[in-house]
Structure 1
Amino acid sequence: MTSIRSRLAKGAALIAALAVVASCGLPRSGPNKQEIFAGSVMRDGDAFVLLVDDRVNLVAGVTPALGFSAGFQNASVLGSDTIRAGDTLGLTIWENVRDPLLVSQGQNATVLEEVQVDGAGFIFVPYAGRIRAAGNTPEAIRRIITEKLEEQTPDPQVQVRRLAGDGATVSIVGAVSGQGVYPIERPTRTLSAMLAAAGGVSVPPAIARVTVTRGDHVGEIWFEDLYDHPGHDIALRSGDRIFVEQDTRSFTALGATGSQSRLAFESQSISAIEAIAQVGGLNTNLADPTGVFVFRNEPEDIAEQLVGRDDLTGTQRVIYVLDLTEPNGMFMARDFAIRDGDTVYVTEAPYSQFNKTISAVFGTLGQANSAASLVQ
């Protein structure tokens, strides 16, 4: 009888110890499912908690697309032969006479290298005078010079070449192999060609973003889209500023995952499954595959579509729920697109908390028994 009472007393003491340890709050990586659901607008919170399905994926998967406006795309390619102020020309003049104006004795031609077009758009040619160059083609300038010289020397032959100059240039900075100011020439009249002239991008092409600033207008494109969608390979204009940078988007992974950290996007798009994989997958000793959550602030119009309301104002807090144990749960997670600033959180399984409680109790009891033995 005494033995039974003793066992009952020990059992009661064990249950009391379990209750005390559980009430004290065991260490854990974050809130459990019940605590997250308590934050729903249907209860006491201010967040919309939504189970991810095909409809939710369709609405939540809308992401801002990068691309150039019609103003950029409709701009025609600059004529490579149109001269502008600041350009540099090369002139060669032949004279088939005994007493030439420009050609030295014993030679049949004179070469005027690097004749720069001044700020007003003019060049000076000896015996031909000041000639308007800006806005003309090399052929038009050749005819003008020929006509001027014919008044003083019979049948002059003139050649005009456009050299690289600073009349029509763009600046390229950021993640390229060769930053600098580049002239718009025949081989570099489009964005992709100009980037190639600068040595290409120096970051992984999949996450390289290209921004073009033209006056007050700004356009942005993924580097790979320049080749996948040729319509985005815009024609350049003098004064364009090109900036190349690595994608700055990121998300945070917390909870019962292989690691907890802030991670950068490794591609243009990333799914919930890929996001979990980036942190080493679920922790097999702790994770609850029915409790994978994505926390996000959604714009007003997206939130209204998600919850079927039209009375929301401003950005809304939304919690997406992914249950990987459902028959199509993995597909839903594979189709769910992670966005910049998202927090992916995996809850701990109830079993892991129970395990912690047992370990804490028996560890405490074992330490107490050891201490008692030492005292005795």
Structure 2
Amino acid sequence: MGPVQHRALSRKRLAVMGGALMFLAGCNALPNSGPTESQINHAQQNPKKNAVGYGIVQISLDLITLLDSEGPPSFSSLDADNVPVAPGKNDTVGPGDILQVSIYEVGSSLFSANSATMLASSASGTNTLPSSASSSTLPPVVVDGSGNILVPFAGQIHVTGMTAHQVADAILARLKQKSQSPQVLVRIASDIANSVMVYGGVRMPSRIPLTPNREHILDVIALAGGVDHTTQADEDYMIRLVRNGHIAEMPLKVIENEPAQNIAMQPGDRVQVIYHPRTFSVFGASGKITQTRFSMPTLTMAEAVARVGGPVESRADPNGIYVFRYENADVLRRLGLPVDEKASVAPVVYQLDMMNPSNYFLAQKFMMRDKDLIYIANASSNRFYKFFGLITTVISTAE
């Protein structure tokens, strides 16, 4: 290389280094996938940047215990809170039921054609008695809104809370003075009082009558045709139970896997089957930025991070693993965060330091929720490495 070429190459290298120094002064302009831990913490304290008013809470065992205690009620707890002192047998009569009443008589009959024969015989003075018993089935008897039925020759009878056998006895007591050796049979033809409504994502939404066998929640879902397994998995279905003004929701798969949650139905229960695929999103220095479905009844933070490949070693800051969530406002008040009095939910950021080995156990206990957002912070040194790589590329090109 001649002197002239050597000087030209030196000037080029100096120009490149000078330009690199200028880039170093504006290193913040280098592209990045998101803020660092310190930037998130500073933004939280800056009212101009924290317009939604979120707080940052460190994930701890106490926090996990609080979140678990404030979760939606399980079906087993709902059953314990509302179970009657003496559990019903689903065989009593109530308003709206339709009864089939059959009356059997000997001799003078009130309800069959034999009664006309008896009247004619009495008028002629022969007093001829029929030689055989007669039976009559009354038209459908509806229990009115007050719980009463009206039976010819027996009058109005209050039957709410009675079994079919007790209703028959009540009718018989009224007819004994008017008919010779009457016998009464009562059957519940349409059972409205002892039924539950099953609707939503089932093949045959309907009213399911309960029997003395005491059907459970999976039983009535099956009787309504079950959920559509051809396109969706059980993990994507939520079951909502409404009982006495209380509401509980659980994934269908949890009910299938935990017999204690497959509680017995009570008259008046409403069961809604909801197709609701749950997802979480991941941003920042992760192996993959994506929105991912749960595809399982419950999902921990550790499992969620692992699904996307975990933090990228070359650019992630394991001190700053965050979960962004809209949390129940009562929970945030108990954590001491300022929350509007009228708010039912408020934003919060949960942080986990994965440089502490014990926190990996917490990650296995912290439960993810639908629409949670995981953010893995970039390391502060990430920009330096990007800048260093840029300089290396420029110098190599210049040579």
Do the two structures share a fold, i.e. TM-score over 0.5? yes
> Percent identity among equivalent residues?
23
8 Å CA contact 2:283, 2:289 repeated in 1: yes
Alpha-carbon deviation of 1:132? Answer: 2.1
Aligned CA RMSD, in angstroms, stands at 4.6
**Equivalence for 2:97:** 87
Matches within 5 A, 1:17-56: 17-21=19-23, 23=26, 25-41=29-45, 48-49=55-56, 52-54=59-61
Q: Relative to structure 2, which stretch is displaced further, 86-95 or 278-287? A: 278-287
Cα displacement (A) at 1:212: 0.4
Does residue 117 (structure 1) correspond to residue 142 (structure 2)? The answer is yes
State the one-letter code of the partner of 1:26.
L
Compared CA separation, residues 368 and 330, structure 1 to 2 (3 A) = same
2:246 aligned with 1:218, yes or no? yes
Aligned AA (1:334): Q
Which SS does the other structure have where 2:92 is aligned?
Answer: coil
Query: Partner residue of 1:197?
Result: 223
- 1:322 corresponding residue in structure 2: 352
Which residue in the other structure is 1:13 paired with?
15
TM-score normalized with structure 2 length: 0.68
The 3 A distance-change label for structure 1 pair 230 and 94 is: same
Pair 183,61 (structure 1): closer, same or farther in 2 beyond 3 Å? closer
Per the alignment, do residues 113 and 287 of structure 1 end up closer, same or farther by CA in structure 2, a change over 3 Å counting?
farther
Alignment partner for residue 65 of structure 1, among 72, 76, 82?
A: 72
Determine the structure 2 residue equivalent to 1:347. Answer: 377
Flag the 1:61–1:344 CA change in 2: closer, same or farther, 3 A: farther
Tell me, yes or no, if the aligned pair for 2:94 and 2:143 is still in contact at 8 Å.
Answer: no
CA distance in 2, matches of 1:193, 1:40: 50
Alignment pair present for 1:272 and 2:301: yes
How far apart, CA to CA, are the structure 1 residues paired with 2:238 and 2:389? Answer: 49
CA distance in 2, matches of 1:188, 1:226: 18
Displacement, 1:345? 0.7
Rounded Cα–Cα distance in structure 1 between residues aligned with 2:351 and 2:175: 83
- In the alignment, what sits opposite 2:117? none
Amino acid in the other structure paired with 1:18? A
Q: Alignment length, in residue pairs?
A: 362
In the alignment, the residues of structure 2 paired with residue 44 and residue 52 of structure 1 have an alpha-carbon distance, to the nearest angstrom, of: 26
2:108·2:179 contact (CA, 8 Å) conserved in 1? no
Instruction: Report SS of the residue matched to 2:167.
Output: helix
Secondary structure, in 3 states, of the residue corresponding to 2:364?
A: helix
The offset of 1:330, in angstroms, is: 2.9
* 1:193-248 Cα distance to aligned partner (Å, 9 max, x none): 5444334455626862323054xx2321425459847488365234x433232457
- Looking at structure 2, the residues matched to 158 and 106 of structure 1 have their Cα atoms a distance apart, in angstroms, of 20
Q: Is 1:143 the counterpart of 2:169 in the alignment?
A: yes
In the other structure, the counterpart of 2:184 is: 158
- 2:273 pairs with one of 244, 247, 250: 244
Do 1:29 and 1:255's aligned partners in 2 also have CA atoms closer than 8 Å? yes
Indicate how the Cα distance of structure 1 residues 66 and 12 shifts in structure 2: closer, same or farther if over 3 A, else same: farther
CA drift at 1:149? 4.7
Gap runs ≥5 in structure 2 = 115-129
| Amino acid paired to 2:209 | P
Tell me the distance in 1 between the aligned counterparts of 2:109 and 2:350.
Answer: 90
CA offsets per residue over residues 297-328 of structure 1, 9 Å max, x none? Answer: 5667755776xxx6845487654443434433
**In the aligned structure 1, how far is the partner of 2:169 from the partner of 2:366?**
65
Distance 1:368 1:197, change over 3 A: same
Question: Aligned equivalents of 2:366 and 2:294: distance in 1?
Answer: 15
Distance 1:93 1:212, change over 3 A: same
Give, in whole Å, the separation in 1 of the partners of 2:169 and 2:327: 64
CA–CA distance in 2 between the matches of 1:77 and 1:53? 42
1:89-135 C-alpha deviation (Å, 9 max, x unpaired): 23344445598953889996646276232426555556x45452632
Q: Would the aligned equivalents of 1:286 and 1:348 in 2 still touch at CA under 8 Å?
A: yes
Does residue 255 of the first structure (1) align with residue 284 of the second (2)? yes
Query: Does the CA-based 8 Å contact 2:90-2:194 persist in structure 1?
Result: no
User: In the TM superposition, what is the alpha-carbon distance from 1:289 to its structure 2 partner?
Assistant: 3.6
Tell me how far 1:344 sits from its aligned partner: 0.8
Give, in angstroms, the shift of residue 161 of structure 1. 1.7
Distance 1:12 1:338, change over 3 A: farther
- Corresponding residue number in structure 2 for 1:373: none
TM-score between both structures, scaled by the size of structure 1: 0.71
Q: Which moved more, 1:320-329 or 1:37-46?
A: 37-46
